[in-house]
Amino acid sequence: MKIYERLNKIDRRIIYAILFVVVTLPLIFPSVLKVTPMTPVENLFTAVDKTTDDKALILDCSYAPQIKAEVEPMAIAVLRHAFKTRKKILVLSLYVEMIGLATRALNQVVEEFNSVAETYEDSIIYGRDYVFLGWQPPPIVPMLGMGESISNIYVVDYYGNQTDTLLMMQRIRNYNDISILVALSGSRIPISWVSYAQNRYGLQVGVGCTAVSGADFYPYYQTGQFTGLMVGMKGAAEYEELVEANHGVKGRRVASEAMLSLTYAHLIIMLFIVIGNIGFFLHRRKK
């Protein structure tokens, strides 16, 4: 086979093998790549930071297991941000298959903080600092219902406690007591939050999403319907950077560690595209 034919028709298995090596090596030998936070992420960070003591923020962990790698670092970064700055936070999921992931992120960050807390005040206490509302189908019910009363929609929380008996919920009654809702998702759920909660109740919405669905959300960020936007692994790395730089939170930065893999993967794909085009040109010339 002539060289241009080889370049034009590289076996996909060779592409997969090279990509596998290039992506895996930096993960086996991880190092944190510093990123420069961009404006959409900074806006989200600032909005969360501005949450006052009389309000809470809601974290909607509606990301499926397949996008956990991209979106879970966002959940962890936002939770670290909230706990470090003592912002009250409500966590929920709109679908049952995502509850496990929300639990995982919560447990991890609570454990991180409580393992170094020396006093009761320093600790992260359930009911005082955070509440895990759980899941309430179908999604439209909590989206609209929480505008009237959060406790009416989530009568009991995920652990079976009466929601209105929890300390935090004495003051956090509905969207008026929520500064911002951060929706983490790989689908169109954030747009539903805008359609229902923001349209009717004026709720501020911030988004964390996969890189693939990020393109869908830029129009909404541009119009101000999304206060801020974290897109993909890089968005997560930027938020991690902001949380560490502004509040000194130390913890494993999974997204930042993956930046090197991401860089090499992009470069290798670009290389294959160039090789393919060289073969294409040579082939055309021969003809």
Question: Among 25, 155, 212, 245, which residue sits at the site for other proteins (rule: CB under 8 A)?
Answer: 212
Residues 6+ apart with CB under 8 A from 63: 71, 72, 75, 98, 101, 184, 185, 186
Residue among 201, 62, 185 nearest 144 (CA): 201
Q: Please report, as residue ranges, which positions from 252 to 281 form the binding site for other proteins (by CB under 8 A).
A: 259, 262-263, 265-270, 272-273, 275-277, 280-281
Q: Please report, as residue ranges, which positions from 232 to 251 form the binding site for other proteins (by CB under 8 A).
A: 232, 234
Residue among 52, 63, 42 nearest 183 (CA): 63
Return the number of other C-beta atoms located less than 10 Å from residue 272's C-beta: 15
- Stretch touching other proteins by CB under 8 A, among 85-93, 122-130, 139-147, 246-254: 139-147
Site for other proteins contains 62 (CB under 8 A)? no
Q: Please report, as residue ranges, which positions from 19 to 48 form the binding site for other proteins (by CB under 8 A).
A: 19-20, 23, 33-36, 38-40
Angle at 181 between CA 179 and CA 185, to 5 degrees: 165
**Interface with other proteins (CB under 8 A):** 10, 12, 15-16, 19-20, 23, 33-36, 38-40, 52, 54, 64-69, 97, 100-101, 103-104, 137-138, 140-141, 144-145, 153, 158-160, 174, 176, 186-187, 210-216, 218-219, 221-222, 232, 234, 259, 262-263, 265-270, 272-273, 275-277, 280-281
